[in-house]
């Protein structure tokens, strides 16, 4: 059975290790946006993120082995003349080691994040994924997430 634990800045190396697979997927899918995984740099970034208020991470363990993580944060937008104010809990990153996909690890990580969201007085929970990551899209749909926004992009000189 998978065990979920809250991560702290002290877990930055573990999170960086777990990030390498999903980062590779992003580099392959959008090399103009994403950088190759450099462990020490990624670990330092996780340490910085986890030092911020309103940022959370959880690590999934199978026995003593870390097999996945989720990183989430609060996003807020003040009211203005065209939109209402909103406060959302964003599941920004999730990664499960390939050998552990399809075994409930991702679902357990999202459930841990949702517990924090319930306590955070947010209006909704959001998750982001890139268009090339069809597996993540199917995963979030299976958890009851609906597509809300489609964002288009292209190089400026195309």
| pLDDT one digit per residue (tens) for the chain, 158 residues | 899 999 999 999 999 999 999 999 999 999 999 999 999 999 999 999 999 999 999 999 999 999 999 999 999 999 999 999 999 999 999 999 999 999 999 999 999 999 999 999 898 999 999 999 999 999 999 999 999 999 998 888 86
Give the separation between CA 103 and CA 157, rounded to whole angstroms: 44
Return left, alpha or beta for 5; rule: phi > 0 is left, psi -120 to 50 is alpha, else beta: beta
105 Cβ partners below 8 Å, 6+ apart?
A: 2, 60, 62, 67, 68, 96
State pTM to two decimals.
0.93
- CA torsion angle for 24, 68, 64, 99 (degrees, to 10)? -70
Alpha-carbon gap, residue 59 to 5, rounded angstroms = 5
Q: What are phi and psi of 153, to 5 degrees?
A: -145, 160
User: Residue 110 belongs to what H/E stretch?
Assistant: helix 105-119
């Amino acid at each position: 059975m998978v065990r979920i634990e809250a991560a702290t800045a002290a877990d930055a190396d573990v999170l960086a290790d777990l990030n390498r697979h999903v980062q590779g997927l992003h580099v392959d899918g959008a090399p103009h946006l994403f950088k190759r995984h450099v462990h020490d740099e990624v670990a330092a970034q996780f340490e910085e993120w986890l030092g911020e208020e309103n940022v959370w991470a959880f690590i999934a363990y199978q026995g003593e082995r870390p097999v996945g993580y989720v990183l989430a944060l609060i996003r807020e937008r003040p009211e203005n003349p065209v939109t209402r104010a909103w406060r959302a809990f964003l599941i920004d990153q999730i990664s499960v080691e390939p050998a552990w996909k399809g075994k409930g690890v991702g679902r357990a990580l999202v459930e841990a994040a949702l517990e924090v969201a319930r306590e955070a007085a947010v209006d909704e929970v959001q998750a982001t994924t890139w268009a090339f990551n069809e597996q993540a899209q199917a995963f979030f749909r299976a958890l009851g997430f609906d597509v809300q926004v489609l964002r288009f992009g292209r190089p400026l000189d195309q």
